[in-house]
Structure 1
């Protein structure tokens, strides 16, 4: 009797969870490939000088092995200098080639079915599914097909602990469904803040107000009409991306081409909708191309987001959803009417936390931001091979450190325990996903952007997370953090 009572009490309590640490293992002794290359160059210079002529040649080659040592071990922003070389080279190439600026050619015609987006997103194509009416975004280079659905849900932090625990378990079953498919490339959860256009209040007045010609009714109607953005609201979307390479056989069976891929994707869409409803989430109809266009336009031009919402017939074209101008800087991005900066959640909580730990970030007021969680599922066989490889590397590195007398680091032991826990979870039938958290912060000018970024960084600290400002690739990071297109960096 007491055992059943304690079990019921445990089921009604909200249980804390723990995240795996960010893996920082290297190829040998914790060193990455780039570090091993520079270290090898330095060692080769020292050995050659020692055997060729001794002390004088060793002094002459000092610039070589000294620079190699600096590049290998001296960090900048907690990363070795050698790992900044590809980022800096790519940034210089973009600036010298004019790739950091984008200006839309208004009078130049675009190919039909393409998206007017900058950078590598110019290759994206739109396709309307004739069966569901959903707008599908096709990436011919990455061989993916993406759909978007809007999801409504009650405020998680206002639910009682038992209901929160039940919903967390239900969401886990949704993610497990995605993992078991084997054809899903990515699942993106995008939660963004939008200025409240006042359309909800106007609809309430239209259905409940007294529409006579009295002074009070006229004044109230004018006040509602002129109020404009009066606050903030939150919107959540789920984006599902089909891996056309993994589903090649099913696509050929369904007729091949984009139509066959759409037929296969419809199966995944039905499975996801059923899983969401079983998790007490309320998915809407799959977004059309016009609705996706409004989201893209609002991300690049936040000043018109409220107007687009109030006038549903505006902005319903992917051919005009892209920005007119984009300026990419080292640590921020400027589009039509806003400045943007993207933060990467480099460390999830290392201690036990409750599922609502992100509340300080998601419920921050007065800041326009988008939070994107990129969930990349791994097939069970691929995950098992990856875990075995990690175990072998950890055991080999530990044996090598023991041979040279290096002290074992506690963080390395903790990472190895995380790998063992992942192996146990995979053996128990759970799926393995790779998570990437990005936060895009927007403001009307650079000063407000700096203040908003600082506020989000402090909110992340309250959520026991560590954030880092992405540099050198803000344009790619913005597309992954603010657009529901299942993009990666």
Structure 2
């Protein structure tokens, strides 16, 4: 007996798509936001009032108002002209005070240890003893009262995995991100994928530890050849999830030790959500593991030594570089030179579950590549207000024109859909992407830029170098819990 399939049974199920990302835009006129529009009307009213005094006073008022409003109306890569000008002035001011140069160790006037530079200079690591998870490291940044715990993951990947399983994992990750909005005191969640060329030390150690003393010579020769040839062109992939907390409202008297213990106590629930999303084994990072990750990021040459010598212990106060120098578009630190890009615009339209895969894939031409996806969830109450405000603003921006553009109409549809999904229980998060490429010399930065631009195009992301903030954004993608808006002096 033979069975035949109907045409409906032969067709594969449609592949699931994702999207509906939108930039929040407040209602306003002439490209201005709500606050700037109110300021424009105030300037116009004040100018008319000054006409009763003198024409010169009215002219001066109008010119001063224009000097403030025009930079607010001009947009450069998603930022206002005032923000761009303020960032440039802040960079010039910091450079004149030599804040872009860092020196540690015996040649330093500040510290004899090799502590971390910049925003991480005052950071500390507290050790929390737990039962089953062992010793957990919690990074504390005193100036912002932020506490960060990092989970190491071993993702199972998408090779030889059914599409239905991948869709289920993405759904579980979305549920996990939505649940973060109900975590008391959670400020930021960051998923980082860091790739480095594989030195082959792990494979060599595994083969050496498992080879029987009485193994035949032929078997030994084959394994030795595998150890020599297999690591060529391969890469190590390190996936980390960093969760940053602050003291919940009403509990301002908690000490650093109390807050670290409270953060560590919340990990079991978060483990389960990540495991369902395909993260594989999930393990909290120890204080030594966190220090080693920071040390390897600032000095890529030492990563090979640490891989060959697992007994090498790195402490937090010795995890920083010996010297670092920040330039406008790159950051030099010990044996590496890095450039960091930030997301300007999320992908337009619909994407698939594999759209971002090429961005995180290893690149043999780079010493290190780090892709950090940063999420800052809104609370349920904030989410409800936000989506309704976005819907009102989108309607205003559509109705203020005699003929709305296709982009205005699409933005309105996206805002209405977001409001409906939030009402059905979905969470709302802000997100961005930071990509850091590390090479051995400044001359190799052009090649690194071409690689990252190509990967970003495949991922349908618009990335721009983080001009004037290379050191800060480099540190923000590391497992230390830097929340950039909390340290920014320039409004973004």
Q: Same fold (TM over 0.5)?
A: yes
| Structure 1 residues 57 and 272: alpha-carbon distance in aligned structure 2, compared to 1, 3 A threshold | closer
Root-mean-square deviation (CA, aligned residues, Å) is 3.9
Identify the residue that residue 458 of structure 2 maps to in structure 1.
Answer: 462
For 1:85, the equivalent position in structure 2 comes to 85
Task: Tell me which residue corresponds to 1:304.
Answer: 302
TM-score by length of structure 2 reads 0.83
Find the aligned partners of 2:388 and 2:228 in 1 and give their Cα distance. Answer: 62
What does the per-residue CA deviation read over 1:1-47, in whole Å, with 9 as the maximum and x for residues that have no partner? xxxx9999999654111131223435555314896699679868976
Query: Out of 236, 239, 246, which is 1:236 matched to?
Result: 239
Establish whether residue 164 from structure 1 lines up as the match of residue 160 from structure 2: no
Correspondence list, 1:61-210, <5 A? 71-73=71-73, 76-77=76-77, 79-106=79-106, 116-131=115-130, 132-209=134-211
What does the per-residue CA deviation read over 1:147-198, in whole Å, with 9 as the maximum and x for residues that have no partner?
1111002222542211111211222222233223233222110101122121
What is the Cα deviation at residue 235 of structure 1? 1.0
Match of 1:419 among 415, 418, 426: 415
Kept in 1, the 8 Å contact 2:152–2:284? The answer is yes
SS at match of 2:121: helix
What is the Cα deviation at residue 426 of structure 1?
1.6
Cα distance in 1 between the residues matched to 2:8 and 2:389: 38
Shift of 1:82: 2.6
| 2:483 alignment counterpart | 488
The alpha carbon displacement at 1:471 in A equals 0.9
CA offset digits 1:304-340 (Å, max 9, x no partner) = 2122122112242111001111111111111111111
Query: What SS class does the counterpart of residue 166 from structure 1 fall into?
Result: helix
Higher helix content, 1 or 2: 1
- Counterpart residue number, 1:359: 357
**Gap change, CA 1:302 and 1:44, over 3 Å in 2:** farther
Which whole-Å deviations, capped at 9, do the CAs of 1:175-232 have from their partners, x for residues lacking one? 2332232332221101011221212321243145466897995998699589998632
Task: Kindly state the Cα deviation for residue 281 of structure 1 after the two structures are TM-superposed.
Answer: 2.6
Change in 2 beyond 3 A, CA 1:228/1:337: farther
In structure 2, do the counterparts of structure 1 residues 69 and 145 end up closer, same or farther at CA, with 3 Å as the change threshold?
closer
SS at match of 1:106: helix
Of residues 212-221 and 326-335 in structure 1, the stretch that sits farther from structure 2 once superposed is 212-221
Which residues of structure 1 form unaligned runs of 5+?
none
* Alpha-carbon distance in 2 for matches of 1:206, 1:237: 28
- 5 Å-filtered alignment, 1:404-415, equals 407-415=403-411
- Counterpart CA distance in 1 for 2:411 and 2:395 is 12
Unaligned runs of 5+ in 2: 1-5, 485-492
Aligned pair count reads: 473
Q: Which stretch of structure 1 is more off in the superposition, 70-79 or 315-324?
A: 70-79
C-alpha deviations, 1:39-76, integer Å up to 9, x for none? Answer: 6798689768977776x999999986886676455555
Please show how residues 248-327 of structure 1 align to structure 2 within 5 Å: 249=251, 256-327=254-325
- Note the C-alpha offset of 1:386: 2.0
Question: Following TM superposition, by how much is the alpha carbon of 1:127 offset from its aligned partner in structure 2, in angstroms?
Answer: 0.4
Q: 1:64 to 1:376 in 2, by over 3 A?
A: closer
Distance 1:110 1:219, change over 3 A: farther
SS for the counterpart of 2:381 is helix
CA shift for structure 1 position 102:
1.0
- 364-373 or 217-226: bigger deviation: 217-226
Aligned to 1:15: 16
Deviations 1:66-117 (A, max 9, x none): 86676455555564433312111211121112211111143779999x9811
Which of 388-397 and 316-325 deviates more?
A: 388-397
TM-superposed deviation, 1:484: 1.4
> Aligned partners of 1:33, 1:119: CA distance in 2, in Å?
35
Partner residue of 1:371?
371
1:340 corresponding residue in structure 2: 338
SS of corresponding position for 1:349: coil
Q: Could you tell me how far apart the structure 1 residues matched to 2:407 and 2:163 are?
A: 32
**1:289–1:316 Cα contact (<8 Å) kept:** no
The 2-side partners of 1:378 and 1:66 are apart by 35
SS in 1 for 2:120: helix
Aligned residues of 1:329 and 1:472 also touching (Cα < 8 A): yes
Contact 1:228-1:306 at 8 Å conserved across structures: no
**For residue 434 of structure 2, what is the aligned residue in structure 1?**
438
Q: Secondary structure at the match of 1:440?
A: strand
Q: 1:197 to 1:338 in 2, by over 3 A?
A: same
Mean Cα displacement is larger for which, 95-104 or 381-390?
A: 381-390
Question: What is the CA deviation profile of residues 370-402 of structure 1, one whole-angstrom value per residue up to 9, with x for unaligned ones?
Answer: 000111121101111222333343445556x25
Match of 2:382 in 1: 382
Is the Cα–Cα contact under 8 Å of residues 158 and 166 in structure 2 kept in the other structure? Answer: yes
Moved more, 61-70 or 421-430: 61-70
Secondary structure of 1:134's counterpart equals strand
Change (3 A) 1:17 1:287: same
Q: CA deviation at 1:359?
A: 1.6
CA contact (8 A) 2:136 2:264 kept: no
